[in-house]
Amino acid sequence: MTKRTIWMRVLCLGLALLLAACSSQAATQEIPGTTGGGYTAPPMQTSIFDAQAAQGVGGVQIDTSHVSQGYVAASATGDSRLKFQVICGDVKYNYDLPNDGTPQCYVLQSGSGAYTFRVMQNTTEDKYAELYSTSADVQLESEFAPFLRPSQMVSYTADSQCVAKAAELAAQASTASGVVANIYAYIQNNIRYDTQKAETVQAGYLPDPDETLQTGKGICYDYASLAAAMLRSQGIPTKLITGYVQPGDLYHAWNMIWLEETGWITVKIEAPANSWERIDLTFAAGASAAYTGDGTGYTDRLTY
């Protein structure tokens, strides 16, 4: 073997090792702010039903004592199906309300303004009659207030497992965007899409973030609710959005987050500072395009 041949082999080996090292670094690239710790979450904000502050008639009670904090609460009993309406201007949201007296909290997604709240009881087929209504002039403490607390669609408490997991992941981050990146990666890697559930889910279904975390599976609604619960619990404003995606106008759910600093969520997603950014964890987790579309053409319908 000549000296030239030996040197050529050494050179090739060196290049191969260099390329392997570069490839390894690319594969394990860190998102800035996701490691090292240093992020301090603000105190978790809660939602409660204050029976002493509530007003109503019969078995119907509506608590408007916390509207400045971004939510209203209600409780009712009845013999048939109940609905709770949140009305602000031309915007009307209809929610299911348990008829066994279990309190529920609902976000005021329309921001500050004049609201009307109504409890309705089913009479025949799809017809409802008002049982009680009240109004409130709402001045929010912050535009983010409705999206930093638990609600009927994003249900959690200080004792929830999803909150504990979110705190664990947040402790490993140095910035709010790092918290989002860690939670995004955790859900993407640990929650699989439940095709059978998607094909059999019934109208009125409400997600349970802890159940999604425990079972490791869910539909788009579950992904979005879990992400919102985890992020809100760590002080990051998060919306749960339902609407349509292309192609095919598929009904879908995703999230919008707000960050005060520019930060990377994934290598492909950079969230700008002081603006809402869409994240779609169902799509990121690799669910079939038959349920998530192609990741383009989002049309917002409802915000929770």
pLDDT digits (tens, 9 = 90+) for 237-253: 999 999 999 999 999 99
Give the pTM. 0.89
Residue 1: pLDDT above 50?
no
Residue 95 predicted with pLDDT over 60 = yes
Computed over every residue of the chain, the mean pLDDT equals: 90
As a whole number of angstroms, the distance between CA 97 and CA 60 comes to 11
Residue 31 pLDDT level (bands cut at 50, 70, 90)? confident
137 and 270 share one domain: no
Q: How many domains does the chain have?
A: 2
* Angle, in degrees to the nearest 10, between helices 220-233 and 176-190: 150
Residue 55 lies in a domain: no
The percent of residues in the chain predicted with pLDDT above 90, rounded, is 85
Q: End of a domain among 147, 177, 192?
A: 147
Token pair listed for 136: 């409130």
270/192 same-domain check:
yes
Strand-pair category, 104-107 with 71-75: antiparallel
Q: In this structure, are strands 263-266 and 250-259 parallel, antiparallel, or unpaired? A: unpaired
**Is 130 inside any structural domain?**
yes
Domain boundary among 147, 176, 211: 147
Q: Are residues 107 and 228 in the same domain?
A: no
Residue 223 lies inside a defined structural domain of this protein:
yes
Q: Are residues 255 and 282 in the same domain?
A: yes
Instruction: Establish if 32 belongs to a structural domain.
Output: no
Split at pLDDT 50, 70, 90, the class of 32 is confident
User: Of the given ranges (98-112, 156-170, 179-193, 255-269), which has the lowest mean pLDDT?
Assistant: 255-269
| Domain at 65, CATH number | 2.60.40.10
Confidence of residue 164 (pLDDT cuts 50, 70, 90): very high
- Find the range with the poorest average confidence among 66-70, 111-115, 191-195, 247-251: 247-251
Q: Which domain holds residue 96?
A: 61-147
Q: Which two tokens stand for residue 37?
A: 């710790």
Confidence of residue 29 (pLDDT cuts 50, 70, 90): low
The confidence band for 127, taking pLDDT boundaries of 50, 70 and 90, is very high
Lowest mean pLDDT among 22-26, 57-61, 96-100: 22-26
* Res. 24: pLDDT tops 90: no
Lowest mean pLDDT among 3-12, 51-60, 212-221: 3-12
Is 84:95 a contact under the CB 8 Å cutoff? Answer: yes
What distance in Å separates the CA atoms of residue 122 and residue 84, rounded to the nearest whole number? 11
Q: Are residues 168 and 294 in the same domain?
A: yes
The last residue of one of the domains, among 147, 180, 209, is 147
- Does a structural domain hold residue 40? no
d(CA 179, CA 170): 5
Look at residue 182 and tell me whether its pLDDT is greater than 60: yes
Residue 178 lies in a domain: yes
